[in-house]
Structure 1
């Protein structure tokens, strides 16, 4: 007897090919894109030289004296930034799928539940008032992570009623709490004794990878990988959950419990991403829709492609943000909005497209 966690069986060989092609294409394009993005910038370095520097860094190979500066640009600055962009993109793609299934709302994205607003409040609070000083350079990021978790906890406590969590109440309370945290952030900035708080707010609201480093990458990569693995293992339950409470109950799924664990998972993974990149919108909204058009509505198939697509998209968006007007940078969140809005409007205008499939 099949379990709910098992993906739907394909009636023919069409479905396996349908998912194998996009997965193979993304798996091939992603490392090529990463290599190109690492070498591109104000000081452009050819892909062959970039690959050589990366190989030397991984194997401990020698570097000529006149190439040390180029090597440091590649390994110390660009590589962690590009890898962080790929990790955050993958996480946003996967968490977007989870949130849309959780609240059954086509306009849902990972920041819907107040995580980004709470993270901004936490980061600004630490930056203005101090605290967490023992963490050194990680104090602001830790404050952002804790702020995101607190925001989700407040949303849950306000939305839950008699231990029952309604998707509609979750959305409404999440939007309301986002405004509340934004107001709190504005008040903190208004009374801040210096102008640094304003620049901190700008980073957390518009997003970017300028602060990427080897010390921050492993933690967020582990959180995103674990989150994607958990979602993939429960893809069948996401299919059932998206059908509605009555249908899920008839199939033996406790929707309240499923919503709670999804909320916790989304809060932890999204909080970890916001803590290192700020709030980057539209990726978690648009990517799941595009992938559903391509591979269908099954969450097992969508979750196999969405992280790869999110990573690929974010690598190129970050490259555009730091090269289009070099040496200045365009905030990554601004680039995602400029790209995401017209793409999303186009999808909505397609008559054949419906949430959950075409």
Structure 2
């Protein structure tokens, strides 16, 4: 855990120091410490550098940490809930619902709630998709894992088609470009007001998941064993699906679709600390935060001054790594 925490600090330092204007790592942390309390560091930098660190790079680094931690924790919880190593936060069609909401705002220029219009529309889309998937998955008052997965996959395909249709039929090239970049995932333009809602959702969701880590461990052992030990599997699974979907909705509303983080990192964490969720969930949060900060840094520096959508990089890294991991475990 200490090594993973150090990795997060190292990635955060690089994320704040590296860019079109390079800054020394010591100066970066002096600026941050001075902003926390003036007595912690003696100012010796220009106001422009302080603005770059505090108002541009620090909120983006924090958002990367929040999104990476949330996707990784949500992926680990879903893999335990459905007992499927291929489950990830995109499983329930929630991200596709969020995408439709966001694309509607971008394509039709809906600004009723100002700067919060896009996150709010994406969040509402995510909740609507969740409600539809739950309605389709329930039969006779019960909900099986197979029905939930099938309903989620079907809903994701339909909503992805709707989002693509909205983009293709838009007559404004600028709006089309904005919608496409959002669909590919990215954290450009992050500001402080955007950080707090997903941060609160991820912190609260992770705390709840840590509180139910024992039932999650029981589910990994099998449904029969969990029922025998007194766990109401259907009610527990339904409640946690709703919790994870709310976390994903809050994340996707600000970051767009970023894939593979919730699929790959839980496997890496289990190799490092084992499958016990009391240790694995905090480790997943730390590793997810460090990974996405590093991926976002690469996304904005590899082709500078152009920025690659971070969702593309996570897919390019995650796909081959997952294949390698699968072959390694098979061997």
Looking at structure 1, the residues matched to 53 and 134 of structure 2 have their Cα atoms a distance apart, in angstroms, of 43
Q: 1:1-358 maps to which residues of 2 (within 5 A)?
A: 23-60=1-38, 67-131=46-110, 133-351=111-329
CA distance 1:40–1:159, shift in 2 (3 Å) = same
Coordinate RMSD, CA, aligned? 1.7
Instruction: Tell me how far 1:264 sits from its aligned partner.
Output: 0.8
3-state DSSP of counterpart to 2:249: helix
Q: Aligned-pair distance for 1:273?
A: 0.5
What TM-score do the two structures reach when normalised by structure 1?
A: 0.88
What is the alpha-carbon distance in structure 2 between the residues aligned to residue 26 and residue 186 of structure 1? 38
Q: Tell me which stretches of 4 or more aligned residues in structure 1 moved more than 6 Å.
A: none
Q: Which runs of 5+ in 2 are unaligned?
A: none
- For residues 173-198 of structure 1, the C-alpha deviation after alignment (integer angstroms, 9 at most, x for no partner) is 11111110011112222333422442
Contact 1:124 1:197 in 2 (8 A): no
Deviation at 1:204, TM superposition (A): 3.0
Give how far 1:60 is off: 4.8
Work out the CA distance in 2 between the residues paired with 1:84 and 1:282. 18
* Structure 1 residue matching 2:192: 3-state secondary structure: coil
Cα drift, residue 29 of structure 1: 2.3
Aligned length: 329
Moved more, 269-278 or 245-254: 245-254
2: CA distance between counterparts of 1:60 and 1:190? 52
CA contact (8 A) 1:89 1:312 kept: yes
